[in-house]
Amino acid sequence: MLKFILRRLLYMIPIFFGITLVTFVLFNVAGGDPAAQAAGRYATPDQITVMRAEMGLNKPLLNQYFDLVTQLFTFDFGRSWSSKQQISHLITAGIGPSLTVTFPGFVISLLITIPLSLLVAHKRGTFFDKATLVICLALTAISSVVYVLAGQYFFAFRWGMFPISGWDPSWDGRWQYAALPIIIMVSLSLGSYILFFRTVFLDEMYQDYVRTARSKGLGNAKILLKHVLRNALVPIITLVVLQVPFLITGSLLTESFFGIPGLGGLIYQAIQEADFPVIKAMTIISAVLYMVFQLISDILYALVDPKIRLG
């Protein structure tokens, strides 16, 4: 197991430098002159030169690249162009509001869709299965903007069950603002999750070990919970672990519509204001988070199925 983990860690080294290099090229080379953009449209050449020195853009490209890598390890990405605040402070302040919405929504979605998908797979070919498939396809076909606008109009505006938007930073007060976004996130994920888990469970139900278990007289409930669900853990782990980076970085659409000061809202505001330091920081952090949790999923695979360690 230790050799497996070390091998995966070695694989991450070139991937890490590839991610940071692509990010550096996109924002520092291909994206134009950041100093000119930061100085503004009417800046003089002398002002742009001063700005280039302040931003370290007068250094050789190789030095600038290593400055970017250093920023990631020190978690010091400089200041935002628009708010002039430390980007690291903006990021740490946004993690809590984002997770307040995304984490409960994700957990509730799993608690609903996994048992329901297991039941749907067991009832394959019946009216219940076909009706569920139609509903799930309809849910996935509807735009996420429709969910948000419909939720705000009916639940918040017409029925007054929740605030339309806003945020309370206190632990007790935030939930009145987070409840409706959580409901919308659960609704958004139901269709796609059920279709995914149903396919996973159906693949397992036609394996030889299921027929063997039935021939031994085991009941359907025991087969589904003890054998099918257990052997379907690898793809379930894939979904769960690889969703964690997106839970941390938040939902751009939901947070921007509901005025939640999370990382999704931070990214949306940075895009609106062309705040490239914030966009660059969030881009590279998101990529590194995905890479790290991909490693975690590989380790969990190996724990669930030791045959994977041979790969």
> Which amino acid belongs to residue 38?
A
Instruction: Please name the residues in contact with 213: beta carbons below 8 A apart, sequence gap of 6 or more.
Output: 222, 223, 227
Domain membership of residue 82 (yes or no) is no
Reduce the DSSP state of residue 311 to 3 states and report it: coil
170 and 236 inside one domain:
yes
Domain membership of residue 94 (yes or no) is no
52 and 158 inside one domain:
no
From the CA atom positions of the chain, what is the Rg in Å? 24
What is the Cβ-side half-sphere exposure of residue 219, based on CA atoms within 13 angstroms?
Answer: 3
Residue 104 has what pLDDT?
Answer: 96
User: 47 is written with which tokens?
Assistant: 């002002």
**Largest pairwise CA distance in the chain:** 84
E strands, the chain, are none
Tell me the C-alpha to C-alpha distance, in Å, between residue 176 and each of 132, 147, 172, 208, 269. Answer: 31, 18, 8, 49, 23
Reduce the DSSP state of residue 170 to 3 states and report it: coil
Domain membership of residue 254 (yes or no) is yes
39 and 110 inside one domain:
no
Domain membership of residue 88 (yes or no) is no
Domain membership of residue 84 (yes or no) is no
Residue 98's Cβ-count burial label (10 Å; 0-12, 13-18, 19+) is: buried
Total domains in the fold of the chain = 2
Tell me the C-alpha to C-alpha distance, in Å, between residue 135 and each of 47, 125, 132, 216. Answer: 59, 15, 5, 36
Domain membership of residue 150 (yes or no) is yes
Q: Are 156 and 180 in contact (CB under 8 A)?
A: yes
pLDDT tens, residue by residue, 136-194: 999 999 999 999 999 999 999 999 999 999 999 999 999 999 999 999 999 999 999 99
User: Which residue in 70, 69, 89 sits closest to 79, CA to CA?
Assistant: 89
Domain membership of residue 262 (yes or no) is yes
Read off the DSSP letter of residue 43: -
């380790």: which residue's tokens? 299
Compute the distance between CA of residue 15 and CA of residue 170 in angstroms, rounded to an integer.
39
């048992």: which residue's tokens? 115
Read off the DSSP letter of residue 308: G
Residue 152 has what pLDDT?
Answer: 94
Where in the sequence is the domain holding 29, given as residue range(s)? 2-74
Mean pLDDT of the 291-299 span: 87
Instruction: Please name the residues in contact with 272: beta carbons below 8 A apart, sequence gap of 6 or more.
Output: none
pTM of the model: 0.87
pLDDT tens, residue by residue, 46-63: 888 887 787 777 788 888
213 and 128 inside one domain:
yes
- Helix and strand element counts for the chain (H, E): 15, 0
187 and 141 inside one domain:
yes
pLDDT tens, residue by residue, 64-117: 888 888 988 899 988 888 888 999 999 999 999 999 999 999 999 999 999 999
162 and 260 inside one domain:
yes
Read off the DSSP letter of residue 306: G
Compute the distance between CA of residue 156 and CA of residue 158 in angstroms, rounded to an integer.
6
Compute the distance between CA of residue 237 and CA of residue 244 in angstroms, rounded to an integer.
11
147 and 26 inside one domain:
no
For residue 129, what is the domain's CATH number?
A: 1.10.3720.10
Domain membership of residue 173 (yes or no) is yes
pLDDT tens, residue by residue, 207-245: 888 888 888 888 888 888 888 888 888 888 888 888 999
Residue 309 has what pLDDT?
Answer: 58
pLDDT at 29 over 70: no
64 and 111 inside one domain:
no
